[in-house]
Amino acid sequence: MQVNGLKSRLAAGDTALVATLQLARSGDSARVFARAGYDALVLDAEHNLIGPDAMGEILLAALDAGIAPLVRLPDAAPGPIGQALSAGALGVVIPRVETADLAEAVARAAAFAPRGRRPLPPVFPHFRRVPTAQAEAVASLAAETLVVVIIETRQAVANAAAIAAVEGVDVLFLGASDLSADLGRPGAKDDPALWDAAAAVAAACRAAGKVPGMGGIVEDAHFARARALGMRWISAAHDATLLQAAATERAKRLRAL
């Protein structure tokens, strides 16, 4: 039983346009981004305090709408990883992964036994209450679940090849904002050192057959540069910044009439 197919599309060389939710608390947000043409939705539980009821509603709405839902967690603790995946997420996004050992721990937390320690809940919400044999559910979700690790420090960049080689890690996502701060130039998105790091992460992914990604950029020139490096997990939208930009543009335009 295929749940979404995003992982297989990435394996085939496709690009994922990813939207991040920080303000949203309604399942309609998932439907909006699905209709707009995005491939994946990341519920940001690192930078805000989204409650479990709202998170559950958005996860299920995303599954129904055909957009892959992932949860970005505050750290690599295994309990919340298993909880998010049991609640309906098709993947997790883990910040500050700086070593292969930590990447391995994340991959184990997101994998079913015997490879990992992902729990088996009585019912998987991913199948919309359709009766599904446990063996079939495990096989399907094992094929669909994505593990995204965020590369956002100099140490992580130095270890990118080792991290990319870890079995069960699917995407190395370079976080340009935090990495630029770690490089001593917060917000300097044109810094050559930042783009050298991006090139190194992309090369590590190519060598290991993994997907490179990038976020924390907003300018078209930066997106084009990321795509030229081969980045295929593109953090393309954020609900708060989209709302602010659209509201500001509309107010300016109407006041100018």
| Catalytic residue numbers, as ranges | 47
Cα distance between residue 135 and residue 89, in whole Å: 19
Q: What is the 3-state secondary structure (H, E, C) of 69-124?
A: EEEECCCCCHHHHHHHHHCCCCEEEECCCCCHHHHHHHHHHCCCCCCCCCCCCCCC
- Compute how many other C-beta atoms are within 10 angstroms of the C-beta atom of residue 63: 21
Classify 129 in phi/psi space as left (phi over 0), alpha (psi -120 to 50) or beta.
left
| Residue 206 CB partners (closer than 8 Å, separation 6+) | 212, 230
Cα distance between residue 143 and residue 93, in whole Å: 17
Burial status of residue 176 (CB atoms within 10 A of its CB: 0-12, 13-18, 19 or more): buried
Q: Return the structure tokens found at 80.
A: 């919340």
